[in-house]
Structure 1
Amino acid sequence: MTESANDKTYGYEKGNPVKVGGSKENSGPKNQRRFLNGLLGPNGEQIKYYRAGSCCGFKTPNGLFDNIGLLDLYKVYWDGSDTLNIYINLYDKGDLMIPVGLTAKQK
């Protein structure tokens, strides 16, 4: 990831989740971890995260049952920070960007 999102809702609101795709190829959870593992705090801090659960049903042609998908909610934090909510869609693919206020690891 090299591009930062301009939209402050990207990843932070359920209506604008990060779209990592991969559900049909059984790589959705792996894609989620790859995305999260590429993020850093605003000053390059190493982040920590955990999956808080699934929520927020939505229609998608890539859904496994009746074209319905669920978002995964991750809690992201680093030493001295508040916890951020990151919503991730593992059914649909999209351009991966760095959410506002975070940075990313360099290759």
Structure 2
Amino acid sequence: MKTIYLFICIVGLLMSSCATSKKSVRKGEANVRHELLDARTFKITKFARDKTYGYSEDNPVKVGGGMEGPLNEQRFLNALAGPNGEKVTYKRQGSCCPFKTPNALFGDSGVLDMYEVIIEGSSEKIILYLNMYDSETLQVPVGFTLRK
């Protein structure tokens, strides 16, 4: 009897610890294929008008890629330059914001990756949210240009 009670308590604890109150991120298109400028850089031709694109967990940049997801995140960031063509550097800050996706590597959930982006000559630290599971046509976020 004690064993059954203990089992029920453990299962209940595990189920409640996996719950999340975060809202789901909008889903991407059915895996858009991205063109490469070179092996480490995406060719991007569109510029975002939406000021939340990439800056909000509700509107992340969807680079897709599955197993190539981390490389696709780098390919996207490598394409960016500052507003006047300045060099940018970036560093992954971690993951956040769980969401449901049909493109997950395991199960039906993914997380966003947060990157700190610094524009050369500026002390401002910009956080961009990237989704490596879903993909859509890539755009340059407001405040950035393309690397030459």
TM bucket, shorter chain: over 0.9
Q: Deviations over 1:17-60 (max 9, x none)?
A: 0000011xx11111100000000001100000000000000000
For structure 1, which segment, 64-73 or 40-49, has the greater mean C-alpha deviation from structure 2 after superposition?
Answer: 64-73
Structure number with higher helix proportion: 2
**3-state SS of paired residue (2:51):** coil
Preserved CA contact (<8 Å) 2:63 2:73: yes
State the number of aligned residues: 104
Of residues 69, 74, 98 in structure 2, which corresponds to 1:33?
A: 74
Give the 5 Å matches for 1:1-107: 1-23=44-66, 26-78=67-119, 79-106=121-148
Structure 1 segments unaligned to the other structure (5+ residues): none
Distance 2:143 2:72 in 1: 21
**TM-score normalised by the chain length of structure 2:** 0.68
**TM-score normalised by the chain length of structure 1:** 0.93
Distance 1:13 1:36 in 2: 16
Pairwise CA RMSD: 0.9
Higher gyration radius (CA)? 2
For structure 1, which segment, 47-56 or 61-70, has the greater mean C-alpha deviation from structure 2 after superposition?
Answer: 61-70
**3-state SS of paired residue (2:71):** helix
Q: Which has the higher contact order (CA 8 A, sep 6+)?
A: 1
Distance 1:92 1:105 in 2: 24
Distance 2:48 2:123 in 1: 20
